[in-house]
Chain A
Amino acid sequence: MRDYNKLIIELSKEGRKAYSIPKNDVETVDPEKYIPKNVLRKEDPKLPEVYEVDVMRHYTNLSNKNYGVDTGFYPLGSCTMKYNPKINEDMAKLPNFANIHPRQGEDTVQGSLELMYELQEKLCEITGTDGFTLQPAAGAHGELTGLMIIKKYHEERNDTKRTKIIVPDSAHGTNPASATAVGYDIIEIKSRKDGSIDLDELKEALTDEVAGLMLTNPSTLGLFERNICEISKLVHEAGGLVYYDGANLNAIMGKSRPGDMGFDIVHLNLHKTFSTPHGGGGPGAGPVGVRHDLIKYLPVPVVAKKDDKYYLDYDKPSSIGRLMGFYGNFGVLLKAYTYILKMGASGLREASEAAVLNANYLQSQLKKEYKLPIEQVCKHEFVLSGMKDSDVHTLDIAKRMLDYGVHPPTVYFPLIIDEALMVEPTDTETLETLDNFIEIMNKIKKEAIENPKILEEAPITTPVRRLDEVQAARKPKVKWD
């Protein structure tokens, strides 16, 4: 089964059909006679002609070549690959939510609006902010939203000289990319060795041209920024706003809130912290929360409530505008809402505590055989810098893990750590799973010392072995012939 290696088009046979729809029961209109010739299709698209069993077997076989959270341990740093509860999926499929049209009248969607309104309120409380938009489709889209809010804020104050955003060099690549996407220039400041903000560097960068600072806390090294209040104070004094990249919120739910740290704008990744699935790359959801005086800039429409009725508020003259065709990834919002109901206040706190406990446990055990560049209590993740007593590359370590049936940690990020291996066990794993992972890591260490070739040749047990990425990029083949 692992060797299944067909494209769906290769199963195609003329005349086979996998669909059935009723016969047309009205008078047939021939498009040839009705639609202008020059916009009528002349050449058939090459689509598969298969029957239903082909479809099911083909994609089931493909799914067998995939590794998901339901397959096993997924300690991918910065990605929070926690378990996706099944009740979430069931709730999103309920016909009263899945089968409603986005242009239905408000009276016919009160349930959806109420749910969204409640979710906004819960997210405000969790993050310590005053208003939320659920519209952004993903973390990067949330960043875009937040940066537009920053820009609009300065625009309305006629403070047009603020053209720069400060981003630490340890940041996710999306941060600088998002800032550029709204027309900002980037000031990259060097982090200290432990990944924290160098206050002197920050002070130097903070001129009256700075619109804001983007930060994630805990940092991408998984360490809590102790000077966070000082940092936000400095940025505010210089007239800027402080933006919270919520990628790492899983460390601090119910323990501390970005709003209380002085952050003005916060985006969350519901597909990380709030257990909605990553879907092989999406969809996620990246809601954005703001402090009270920035609420007027949130994208339209905002879900609002008047008397006992919920409605979509378009009447927001200072709004940055619309960011999605409709109101965001509603189906994902449903799942996150379900998760919050399930966990409750105590459950969210316990999840963060478990995430931090698990990370510290792994850190304390793995540092024996692997280099730990910064020795201190970590939050929900930590970064190793390759192996002790061996110069094998992180990539080879990662590939060998695949042979042992676990998904490797994030590799070569953050950029400021050499041979980085970023481990995030999340809150939903057992001690047995963690111990098994430690055992595998130690076994790989032993192999690296005794016979590093095993690592270089790994993986050997996966559906395919290492792939030629150079060929793929030099002569891109991005569709079937």
Chain B
Amino acid sequence: MKVMDNLYYTKDHEWLKIEGKIGYVGIADYAQDQLGSIVFVELPEEDDEIEAGEAFGAIESVKAATDIYAPVDGTVVECNYDLEDEPELINEDCYENWIIKIKIDDESQKDDLMNADEYKEYLETLDEEE
């Protein structure tokens, strides 16, 4: 599984990229791989306030669906509307194709997330369970 450096990760396999006050949220390679061919991405509305751990959208493949959870608190400033017509972009490159762009309320919440190395270790524990 591909894990990108400099991103923060949740246990539900979302990633967060921080650029100042702005964050980009997407799903990690592991989640993309588990879902298989993605057929639909449900996006939130802009200006929606989201809370860490709260589902703000959903991703569907043919035979599975999963909610997407907010990694930190914030406000949605932009959605990646390309995904409405081409949800497969996430299968093609899940790190390039972010899902929402948010204004982060409290940057220190990132400390509750995993960094790339921690996330890699976490993925290994999942493999062991299988």
User: Are A and B close enough to touch in the complex, i.e. CB under 8 Å?
Assistant: yes
Binding site for B on A (CB under 8 A): 469-470, 473-474
Q: Give the residues in chain A near B105, CB-CB below 8 Å.
A: none
Number of interface residues of B (CB under 8 A): 7
Q: How far is the CB of B95 from chain A (nearest CB, A)?
A: 21
Distance to closest chain B CB from A477 (angstroms): 13
- A470 to B87 CA separation, bound complex (whole angstroms): 11
Measured CB to CB, the closest approach of chain A to B31, in angstroms, equals 18
Q: Which residues of B does A touch, CB under 8 Å?
A: 37, 39-40, 60, 62, 87-88
The residue of chain B having its C-beta at the shortest distance from the C-beta of A470 within the complex is B37
CA distance in complex: A473, B40 (Å): 8
Closest Cβ of chain A to B41, distance in Å, is: 11
A256 nearest CB across to chain B (Å) = 36
CA distance A474 to B89 in the complex (A): 12
Kindly list chain B residues whose C-beta atoms are within 8 Å of the C-beta of A469: 62
Q: Do most interface residues of chain B lie in helix, strand or loop, or is the interface mixed? A: loop
Residues of chain A contacted by B62 (CB below 8 angstroms) = 469-470, 473
Q: How far is the CB of B83 from chain A (nearest CB, A)?
A: 11
- A interface, over-half SS: helix
The winner among A469, A470, A474 for most chain B CB atoms within 10 A is A474
Question: Besides A469-B62, A474-B39, 10 other CB < 8 A contacts?
Answer: A470-B37, A470-B39, A470-B62, A473-B39, A473-B40, A473-B60, A473-B62, A474-B40, A474-B87, A474-B88
Q: Enumerate 12 A-B pairs (CB-CB under 8 Å) in ascending A order.
A: A469-B62, A470-B37, A470-B39, A470-B62, A473-B39, A473-B40, A473-B60, A473-B62, A474-B39, A474-B40, A474-B87, A474-B88
Q: Given the complex of chains A and B, what is the CA–CA distance between A473 and B64 in angstroms?
A: 12
State in angstroms the CA–CA spacing of A473 and B37 once bound together: 10
Shortest CB-to-CB span from A336 to chain B, Å, is 33
User: Quick one: closest B residue to A471, CB to CB?
Assistant: B39
Q: Which residues of A contact B87 (CB under 8 A)?
A: 474
- Of all chain B residues, the one with the shortest Cβ separation from A473 is B39
- Nearest 10 pairs of A and B residues by beta carbon: A473-B39, A470-B37, A469-B62, A474-B39, A473-B62, A470-B62, A470-B39, A474-B87, A473-B40, A474-B88
Nearest residue (CB) in B for A412 is B63
Min distance, Cβ B4 to any Cβ of chain A, angstroms:
26
**Which of B37, B39, B40, B87 has the most C-beta atoms of chain A within 10 angstroms of its own C-beta?**
B39
Nearest CB on B from A73, distance (A): 25
Contacts of B40 in A (CB 8 A): 473-474
Q: How far is the CB of A221 from chain B (nearest CB, A)?
A: 21
CA distance A469 to B60 in the complex (A): 13
Residue of B nearest to A474 (CB): B39
Report the separation of the CA atoms of residues A469 and B37 in the bound assembly, to the nearest whole angstrom: 10
Q: Which B residues are CB-close (under 8 A) to A470?
A: 37, 39, 62
Residues of B within 8 A of A474 (CB): 39-40, 87-88
For residue A97, give the distance in angstroms from its CB to the closest CB of chain B. Answer: 41
Provide the residues of chain A in CB contact with B88, threshold 8 Å: 474
Give the shortest distance, in Å, between B127 (CB) and chain A (any CB). Answer: 16
Q: Please name all residues of chain A whose beta carbon is closer than 8 Å to the beta carbon of B60 when the two chains form the complex.
A: 473
Report the Cα distance A430→B108, complex, angstroms.
69
The complex places the Cα of A406 from the Cα of B121 at a distance, in Å, of 47
Cα(A469)–Cα(B64), bound, Å: 13
**Which residues on the A side are within 8 Å of B37 (C-beta)?**
470
- In whole angstroms, what is the CA distance A117 to B96 when docked? 64
The chain A residue with its CB closest to the CB of B62 is A469
Query: How long is the Cα–Cα vector from A473 to B62 in the complex, in angstroms?
Result: 7
Q: How far is the CB of A173 from chain B (nearest CB, A)?
A: 12
The distance from the CB of A471 to the nearest CB of chain B, in whole angstroms, is 9
A473 to B38, CA, bound (A): 9
Chain A residue nearest to B87 (CB atoms) is A474
CB of B58 to closest CB in A, whole Å: 14
Q: How far apart are the CA atoms of A474 and B87 in the complex, in Å? A: 8
CA distance A406 to B37 in the complex (A): 29
CB distance from A377 to the nearest CB of B (A): 31
- Rounded to whole angstroms, the CA-CA distance of A469 and B88 in the bound complex is 14
Q: In the complex, which residue of chain A has the Cβ closest to the Cβ of B36? A: A470
Which chain A residue lies CB-closest to B86?
A474
Most buried by A among B60, B62, B87: B62
- Taking CB atoms, residues of chain A closer than 8 Å to B39 are 470, 473-474
Q: What residues of B have a CB within 8 angstroms of the CB of A473 in the complex?
A: 39-40, 60, 62
Query: When chains A and B are docked, how far (Å) is the Cα of A473 from the Cα of B65?
Result: 12
Q: Within the assembled complex, what's the spacing in Å between the Cα atoms of A469 and B36?
A: 12
A474 to B62, CA, bound (A): 9
A470 to B88, CA, bound (A): 10
Chain B nearest Cβ from A467, distance in angstroms: 11
- In angstroms, how far is the closest chain B Cβ from the Cβ of A241? 30
